[in-house]
Structure 1
Amino acid sequence: MPRHATSAAMAAMMALAFAAPLAAETAPQDVAFTEYGSIEAPLIDSAGDPEEGAKIYADKTSGNCVACHVISDRPDAEFQGTIGPPLDGAGDRWEAAQLRGIVVDAKKTFPESMMPGFYKTSGYIRPGDAFTGKAGTEPLPPILTAQQVEDVVAYLATLKE
């Protein structure tokens, strides 16, 4: 094979490799819930990182779980809320599929929940358009990415009694 043909073939293969997505991801509208609100399959091929999930829990600009939930061994997470149930022992109470369903859209498991759906783009009740006072137009971007959901699920799964 001529040298330039080998170089061209190698360049084409590298271009295809870099053009392919790094990890397959389930789009919010394609998430499959079970009858009781669980999501059996992870939303992305890469595993969740519990350390990143812990950061998202306490980060007021992303997950902001801390606004409603308390985890007693997280004194670094200031101003923990008590609107939602304490998350101590969440990894004992729920399996990963159940935790994933609750994080994605808690209303599928707990219809009366005030918890927002963190990975959905439609079906909101009175979404606002930032601070304009106008209703938002669906589809809206999800609050968390698929990877962030998996990170939060991985973190919650570590919370044992």
Structure 2
Amino acid sequence: VKKSLKFTGMLVLIIAGLLFGNIYLKYKTLSNELMAAKGALKEAYIELFTGETKVVDELYQLEAKVNKLKGDLEITSGGISVLEIMKELSKAGENNSNFSVKFNEANMAEGRITVRGETDSFESANILKERLIKGNYFKDILLTDLKTMAGGGAAFSLSITLKK
């Protein structure tokens, strides 16, 4: 009886040791996966926001940026979405055989847009402005910084006020 009790006690200790070992291995595996996921998130965050120098908590900072972008999605009280504006710009700048436009930069804030780009001539920049005026979303359009480029063509800047 004592021998069976000792044998049973040893088996219980072995099983308990194996159980704790299994739990520890699961914990270490999950811990390593969490560290790998955090590393991948940090890497993706740095790649996405290259100008960001101070990265403390990637997840929190990413959530904050996403929430800000959601707020910026509709930049006017009228509810015009950024995608609708970009579509309108793209439609006005459609290239054909005698008209070529390349948009380099678009900044949007508080119901105003500043667009910088290049076109093949001064006339094409004016055509672009006229096409945008005919659009549904733009109230006032000013063509500024119209300059001749070294390789030919013209660089331009548009200051656009959105309709409310």
- Give your verdict on TM over 0.5: no
Which structure would you say has the larger Rg? Answer: 2
Provide TM-score, normalisation by structure 1.
0.28
Larger fraction in helix: 2
- Bigger relative contact order, structure 1 or 2, given CA contacts below 8 A and separation 6+? 1
